[in-house]
Amino acid sequence: MRTSLNRLLYLLPAVFSLASSLENCSSAALCPRILADSNRDGLVNELDSNDRRTWTLDRGATFLPNVGDGASRCPVLDLVGDPLSNAELSRCHDASGDRLLSPRFAAPLSTSPIPDISPDAIGRIYADTERVRIFWKHGGVGVNATDHFSGVSDEWALVDQQLSFNASSLRNGIALALDGRELVTDPDIWDGQVKVFFEIKSRNETAQDSVVLKQAPVLLHHHLQRPEVVLSTAPGDPATSNIYNPASPWQAHFIQQLQDTLGADTNFTLFHQDVDIWAQDFFEPAYASMPGPNGTIIALRILLRSAQSTRAAGRQVFTQIRGPGIGALQPPPGSGFGHEEINSGGNIETIPPYVSRSEKSWPNGRIIMGKHFGIPPADAMVRFLQSQGNGGQSPLFLEAGWLAIGHVDEFVQFLPSSSSLTNFTIAVADTRSALGLLINIQAAGHGDIPAVSYDGDITPDARTLFLDTELVRNTTISGLLLDESLLAANEYAQQHIDDNLALLLEEIPLREEDILRVPVLFKEVTLTLPATPDGLPPVLDRGGRKVVSVFPNAVNGLVLGKRYIAPKQWGPVVDGVDVLAEAVEGVYTSVDMSVEFIDDYMSHHVRGGEVHCGTNTFREMGRWW
C-alpha cells in the first residue's frame, strides 16, 4: 500500500471536502501544493496545510533577512586598497549574490509529492517580489527538517524565472529554501510579506497553489534577556593617537576595571578599529529570529549602525563585527547625516515585554527614544523601527532635550524585578533624593566636607568637555547647596523627569511605589564644542537649557541580569563612607540587584557619559512569535 494520504484526499473530494477545498486543484491528478512552516513548529509538514495563504501575528511562516557574512567573504577595502563607502560596505552579505551561503538561516518550504502527475507536466515556482531568494535542493526529496538545516550550500540552486521542474521532480516533491535579500526599512516600499506560487502545466490544464511568508521583525534587546557578550572600546594605539582621536590612558583604566569586574566567564569584545569610546552610541544591537525544529530558535544578530553618517566608529559593525550569524544595517539615506547626538544608540532603549494600560500587548517590549524639544531622531531610523510590523516594538518618544547630550539612558532604565507584576520595574534619575541626602549631611554638621571625593588626576584634554575643576577640588556640600542656579537646574531637570515618568506610567501598568528613584544631581551647562577634522562637530545644541550630572550619573550603568555595573559615585565621604554610593546601592539592592562600582570619572563622566554609554551588550535572541 503506497497510497499516500494526499492521494486519498484528492481522490475522495466528496468525503474530505474540507481538506480538498484548501487545495487548488485543476483536476484530481493536477493538484499542486506548496507548504512552508505556517504553524511555526520549525518543520514543514501536513500540520502546515491550513491557513497558509494569509499571514497573521498568530500563524504564518516566517523567514530571515540573510544578511550575515557566513564565510567572512565581504571586503572592507576596494581593489586599490581604499576603504569602501558606507553604501558599498553594507551591500555585501550572504544574500547579496545568487548562492545560498548560509542555508541555516533560510526558511524551509516544500512542494507535496504528486504521485500521479502526467509525464509531460512542468512546474514553476516564483515569488511576488524580488526581495527574496528561493532555492531548490538537488535531489532533495520531500520534507526533512534535519536535512534542511544541515544542508550544505552546494546542494542548493537558485530558482530563477526561467527554471522549470520536470515531472519526476514534481512527482517526488521539491525541497525549497527561502531567505530575504534585504531588511524591511519602510512599509510603503515593502512590508516584508511574500507570496510564493507553485504552478503546474500539464497538457491543456494549469493549476496553481501559493503560500504566504513574512520576514521576521528586527527586534532590539531589553534588559530581561540574558547578556551574552559585553562590548566596549579598546584604549587605542598611542602610535596613531591625535588630538581628536587620542589613545587614552583613561580608557585603558576603564577597560581594566571592566575586565576585572566582569571576570573570565563573561564574553568581552573590544572595538579596535576606532577610538570612539561610546560603544553604546555608534550602533544598536538587534536580532531577527524564526522557529527551528524541536522548539529551537534560529536567530541572526543585526547590528543597526547609528544614523550618524560621519561617525566613523559605526563602520566597525561591518568592518569588525559582521561575520557568521551577524549582519548589520546601514541606515537608509534621507536623514541622520553628520553626527547629531540625538541619533546615538544611548537614545534608544527598550521597555521589556508588557501589556499596556489600554490592554495593547507588546510581547517584545517597546522602544523608547528621546526627542529634543519637538525635534525627533533621524527619520530613517524611526521608520526602520516602526517598519518591523505588529510583532515589532514601535518607539515611544520621551523628552531628552533638557540634557546636554540628550539620551534617554541618562534618566531612565528598566530593571528585572520579581516583585512587580510586569517582571520589571522602572528606575529614574531623582534629584529630590540627591538634594535631600546633601541637606541631611549638612544638617548633621558636615556641611564643610568636599561634595566630590574624586582625588585622582584631573589633567584635561580635548574631550574633557564637562570637567569642572572648581567642583572637583574646591566645593563643599554647603557651597553646593548655596548655589541657587544649581537648585534651579535640578528643579528644571526634575520637572522633565516627572513628565517623562508620567508618560511611561500612562502606558506601563506599574504603580508609583514600584518606581525606583536613583539619586542624581544635575547642573546647568553652556558648551563650547571643539571642531573635528572633518569640520562636522557632534551637534549637541538644539536650544533650550541643558544640564549634565554633577556626580557620575548612577542610573547610567550596565544591567547584566541581577548585576549592576555602575559608575563609581565619588560622593561626599562621611566617616569613611561614600554616602551617595551607599544610597545608590540601597536603591538597587531593594530589587535584589548587586551593585559593582567602577571608576569612570575621567574616562567618561567628564566627557558627557558613563559606564552604560561606554559599553554595549549582545543578549540572548528570543522568539517573537
Ligand X SMILES: *[C@@H]1O[C@H](CO)[C@@H](O)[C@H](O)[C@H]1NC(C)=O
Under the binding rule (CB under 6 A), the answer on residue 528 touching ligand X is no
Nearest to 10 by CA among 60, 49, 53: 49
Q: Which is nearer to ligand X, 294 or 440 (CB)?
A: 294
Give me the least distance between CB of 148 and ligand X, in Å please.
Answer: 9
Q: Which is nearer to ligand X, 382 or 472 (CB)?
A: 472
Which residues are within 8 A (CB) of 264 and not within 5 positions of it... i.e. 6 or more apart?
none
Which residues are within 8 A (CB) of 176 and not within 5 positions of it... i.e. 6 or more apart?
34, 108, 109, 110, 111, 125, 134, 135, 136, 137, 159
Under the binding rule (CB under 6 A), the answer on residue 146 touching ligand X is yes
Binding residue count for ligand X, defined by CB under 6 A: 27
Give me the least distance between CB of 607 and ligand X, in Å please.
Answer: 21
Q: Which is nearer to ligand X, 186 or 205 (CB)?
A: 205
Among 21, 54, 256, 423, binds ligand X (CB under 6 A): 423
Q: Is 320 helix (H, G, I), strand (E, B) or coil?
A: helix
Q: Is 14 helix (H, G, I), strand (E, B) or coil?
A: coil
d(CA 122, CA 382): 46
* Spatial strand order in the sheet of 326-329: 219-220, 283-291, 297-305, 326-329
Q: Taking contact as CB under 6 A, which single stretch among the options 6-14, 163-171, 255-263, 440-448 is the one that binds ligand X?
A: 163-171
Which parts of 260-289 interact with ligand X (CB under 6 A)? 265, 267
Among 54, 85, 166, 590, binds ligand X (CB under 6 A): 166
Residue 426 CA, distance from chain mean position? 20
Among 23, 209, 409, 585, binds ligand X (CB under 6 A): 209
Q: Taking contact as CB under 6 A, which single stretch among the options 75-83, 108-116, 140-148, 441-449 is the one that binds ligand X?
A: 140-148
Nearest to 407 by CA among 585, 610, 222, 619: 610
Give me the least distance between CB of 376 and ligand X, in Å please.
Answer: 30
568: number of Cβ within 10 Å: 22
Which parts of 453-492 interact with ligand X (CB under 6 A)? 470, 473-474
Q: Which is nearer to ligand X, 135 or 411 (CB)?
A: 135
Nine-digit cell at 537?
562637530
Give me the least distance between CB of 279 and ligand X, in Å please.
Answer: 16
Q: Is 445 helix (H, G, I), strand (E, B) or coil?
A: helix
Give me the least distance between CB of 391 and ligand X, in Å please.
Answer: 16
Residue 167 near residue 97, CB atoms below 8 Å: no
Q: Which is nearer to ligand X, 240 or 294 (CB)?
A: 294
Give me the least distance between CB of 560 and ligand X, in Å please.
Answer: 10
Biggest CA pair distance of the chain = 100
Q: Which is nearer to ligand X, 265 or 512 (CB)?
A: 265
Q: Taking contact as CB under 6 A, which single stretch among the options 124-132, 141-149, 429-437, 595-603 is the one that binds ligand X?
A: 141-149
Give me the least distance between CB of 7 and ligand X, in Å please.
Answer: 19
Give me the least distance between CB of 293 and ligand X, in Å please.
Answer: 4
54: number of Cβ within 10 Å: 10
195: number of Cβ within 10 Å: 14
Q: Taking contact as CB under 6 A, which single stretch among the options 97-105, 165-173, 233-241, 483-491 is the one that binds ligand X?
A: 165-173
The DSSP bridge partners found for residue 617 are 230
Give me the least distance between CB of 27 and ligand X, in Å please.
Answer: 7
Q: Which is nearer to ligand X, 299 or 611 (CB)?
A: 299
The per-residue b/e assignment along 119-133, b for 16 or more CB within 10 angstroms, e otherwise, is: eebebbbebeeebbb
Residue 315 near residue 306, CB atoms below 8 Å: no
Give me the least distance between CB of 100 and ligand X, in Å please.
Answer: 16
Question: Residues 188-207 vs ligand X: string with x where CB under 6 A?
Answer: ----------------xxx-
Nine-digit cell at 233?
572600546
Give me the least distance between CB of 104 and ligand X, in Å please.
Answer: 13
Q: Is 238 helix (H, G, I), strand (E, B) or coil?
A: helix
Strand 132-137 and strand 175-180: the pairing is antiparallel
Under the binding rule (CB under 6 A), the answer on residue 589 touching ligand X is no
Among all residues, whose Cβ is closest to ligand X?
Answer: 208
Q: Which is nearer to ligand X, 41 or 541 (CB)?
A: 41
Give me the least distance between CB of 405 and ligand X, in Å please.
Answer: 26
| DSSP category for residue 26 | S
d(CA 132, CA 270): 34
Which parts of 308-367 interact with ligand X (CB under 6 A)? 353
The rounded radius of gyration (Å) of the Cα atoms in the chain is 28
Give me the least distance between CB of 146 and ligand X, in Å please.
Answer: 4
Q: Which is nearer to ligand X, 4 or 146 (CB)?
A: 146
d(CA 383, CA 285): 17
Among 45, 153, 164, 210, binds ligand X (CB under 6 A): 210
Question: Residues 42-61 vs ligand X: string with x where CB under 6 A?
Answer: -----------x--------
Which amino acid, one-letter code, is at 9?
L
Q: Which is nearer to ligand X, 85 or 166 (CB)?
A: 166
Give me the least distance between CB of 50 and ligand X, in Å please.
Answer: 13
Give me the least distance between CB of 301 and ligand X, in Å please.
Answer: 8
Among 38, 202, 422, 453, binds ligand X (CB under 6 A): 422
Among 294, 589, 590, 594, binds ligand X (CB under 6 A): 294
Which parts of 7-26 interact with ligand X (CB under 6 A)? 24
Under the binding rule (CB under 6 A), the answer on residue 208 touching ligand X is yes
d(CA 517, CA 547): 18
Query: Does the CA dihedral 564-566-571-576 come out positive or negative?
Result: positive
Residue 603 near residue 251, CB atoms below 8 Å: yes
Among 144, 280, 417, 603, binds ligand X (CB under 6 A): 144
d(CA 537, CA 338): 8
Residue 370 near residue 406, CB atoms below 8 Å: yes
Using CB under 6 A, list all residues that contact ligand X.
24, 53, 144-147, 166, 168-169, 204-206, 208-210, 228-229, 265, 267, 293-294, 353, 422-423, 470, 473-474
